[in-house]
Amino acid sequence: MTSLRPASVLVVEDDRDLSQTISDSLDAAGFAAAQAADAADAIDRLKSFAYDAIVIDLHLPDANGMEVLEEAVSRYPQIQAVVITGFGGVSEAVAAMKRGAIDFLIKPFQLSQLSRVLHGSVDQQRLREENAVLRAQLRDRFRFENIIGHHSTMQQLFSTLELIAPMNSTVLIQGETGTGKELIARTIHSHSPRSDQRFVAFNAAAIPEGLVEAELFGHVKGAFTGAVNARVGRFELAHRGTLFIDEVASMSLPLQSKLLRALQEREVERVGESKPMKVDIRVIAATNMDLRKLVKEGAFREDLYYRLNVIPVTLPPLRSRREDIPLLAQHFVRKSCRENGVAQKPISQEALRAMMSYDWPGNIRQFENAIEHAVAMSLTASEIGAESLPEDVRLRSSSIPVASALAIPDEGINFTSVVSQLERDLITRCLEKTGGNKRQAARLLNLSRTTFIDKLQRLNVQGVA
């Protein structure tokens, strides 16, 4: 059996001696058998317990065994049912199978035969259930709605989102351009008690500076040149819902002061009006800049930073979680094929290698666009190959052609010296790229950390731990 818990079997047989014999045999074979002497007793038992299997005599004193079979299968579609009879024929066997029985045995039958049938069917059913659970766990483990990843940073992110979504606290999402900050904000909103209210997005960098205040807080008619009508601001629109302020670092210092007051007092004033109005909102802010650095430089208010940074969420760049690329690639291929009405096709290993060796400066946004490009370029192919990827991905992910750039003088070169210098330059560049992190630098060069350290010592390269 595939489980420590013995499979439960209900034996429905009016012959008490036979019922006891079958039950004893099943108990000895590793099952937990229960008995019912008639249809009424069997149906009562089925109402109170979900048996793994049931053995039913067709001829019961108070009903036809088919009625018990139908009740069992309709109540528990996964139950494994075996029908037994002393007067059976082909027609009865066919009828029992159509109603959901897995086998039909004619009395007298070998008890070992019944055990084998039940063992095989119950084990197969449990295996199907376990596989279904594992598939569901994998599906849920590596995604939170449309956020996908099995890298440790993503698993930590999923746990954080589950904790903070039900709360009303302000969230600050930080991450490079294209990492999916708005998707995170929408996910938090959709899992919050405010999910049935509005999610209002506002990009502070996408609106001319002179209009940001009016867009955010609203304005009355005639408040400024061009204000021919009154306008409701984003704070008002998001009342009882969630306001997402993207690129918050782009706001001017005077506007930051007004935003701080709105967050502290939970009230706003329309431009041109001195009457404040209360708002009930949750604020989620996002930035691709280092706000702490901006605070030190005097470009961002320290008090506003602390007001926004109640719950910080940092999104990793795609290049720092390359192991997620195959999973993301499959997801976006499915999405692109579905949206464009084309048949889904596999991704070649060569294409995956190219994607995993590219740095993706535009992160998830660039990656999704690249996948859509690859799907379009491979419509007539049997798979999505590396040649269907955008040119910059293909070229920049290929090996650096250092040898072709090296001039060979007539007198020749010192091969050992040149190769050592090349190794030194590559190692130094990778250390600079990783901020001195040897483990990450070794990964960029596809070297083990031990080999990388040996080369550092042999070439006398100084790196920061």
SS3 track for 109-136: CCHHHHHHHHHHHHHHHHHHHHHHHHHH
pLDDT of residue 52: 86
- 140 or 95: which leads in pLDDT: 95
> Where are the domains positioned within the chain?
8-137, 147-314, 318-396, 406-459
238, 242, 303, 248: which is closest to 268 by C-alpha? 238
pLDDT of residue 143: 56
The three-state secondary structure class of 59 is strand
Burial of 445 (C-beta count, 10 Å sphere; 0-12/13-18/19+)? middle
pLDDT one-digit tens code per residue, 233-270: 899 999 999 999 999 999 999 999 999 999 999 998 88
**Which alpha helices (H) appear in 191-324, and where do they start and end?**
209-217, 234-237, 253-265, 291-296, 302-308
For the chain, give the percent of residues with pLDDT over 90.
48
pLDDT of residue 413: 76
- Hey, which of 72-76, 143-147, 276-280, 439-443 has the most confident mean pLDDT? 276-280
Burial of 166 (C-beta count, 10 Å sphere; 0-12/13-18/19+)? exposed
Q: Kindly tell me if the per-residue pLDDT of 318 is higher than 70.
A: yes
pLDDT of residue 145: 65
Q: Kindly tell me if the per-residue pLDDT of 464 is higher than 50.
A: no
> For the residues 348-360, what does the mean pLDDT come to?
85
- Integer angstrom CA distances of residue 269 from 240, 256, 293, 450: 17, 15, 30, 62
Tell me which of 1.10.287.610, 3.30.1510.10, 3.40.640.10, 1.10.8.60 is the CATH number of domain 318-396.
Answer: 1.10.8.60
Query: DSSP readout, 74-111?
Result: HH-TT-EEEEEESS--HHHHHHHHHTTEEEEEESS--H
> For the residues 193-219, what does the mean pLDDT come to?
89
pLDDT one-digit tens code per residue, 127-167: 776 665 555 545 444 556 678 888 889 989 999 999 999 99
Q: Kindly tell me if the per-residue pLDDT of 399 is higher than 70.
A: no
pLDDT one-digit tens code per residue, 4-59: 468 889 999 999 999 999 999 999 999 999 999 999 999 988 887 878 899 999 88
Burial of 419 (C-beta count, 10 Å sphere; 0-12/13-18/19+)? exposed
Q: How far apart are CA 243 and CA 196, in angstroms?
A: 14
Q: How far apart are CA 305 and CA 283, in angstroms?
A: 13
> For the residues 191-203, what does the mean pLDDT come to?
93
> For the residues 390-402, what does the mean pLDDT come to?
67
pLDDT of residue 223: 60
Q: How far apart are CA 236 and CA 32, in angstroms?
A: 63
* Contact assessment for residue 55 and residue 12, using Cβ atoms and an 8 Å cutoff: yes
Q: Which fold has domain 8-137?
A: Rossmann fold (3.40.50)
Q: How confident is the model at residue 3 (pLDDT cuts 50, 70, 90)?
A: very low
Q: Kindly tell me if the per-residue pLDDT of 1 is higher than 50.
A: no
Q: Kindly tell me if the per-residue pLDDT of 82 is higher than 70.
A: yes
Tell me which of 3.60.10.10, 1.10.8.60, 2.70.210.12, 1.10.10.60 is the CATH number of domain 406-459.
Answer: 1.10.10.60
> For the residues 100-104, what does the mean pLDDT come to?
90
Name the strand (E) or helix (H) holding 459: helix 449-459
Instruction: Report the amino acid identity of residue 361.
Output: P
Q: How far apart are CA 23 and CA 123, in angstroms?
A: 19
- Integer angstrom CA distances of residue 2 from 180, 238, 299: 42, 53, 63
CATH code of 147-314, in short, is 3.40.50.300
Do the domains at 8-137 and 318-396 have one common CATH topology? no
> For the residues 216-225, what does the mean pLDDT come to?
73
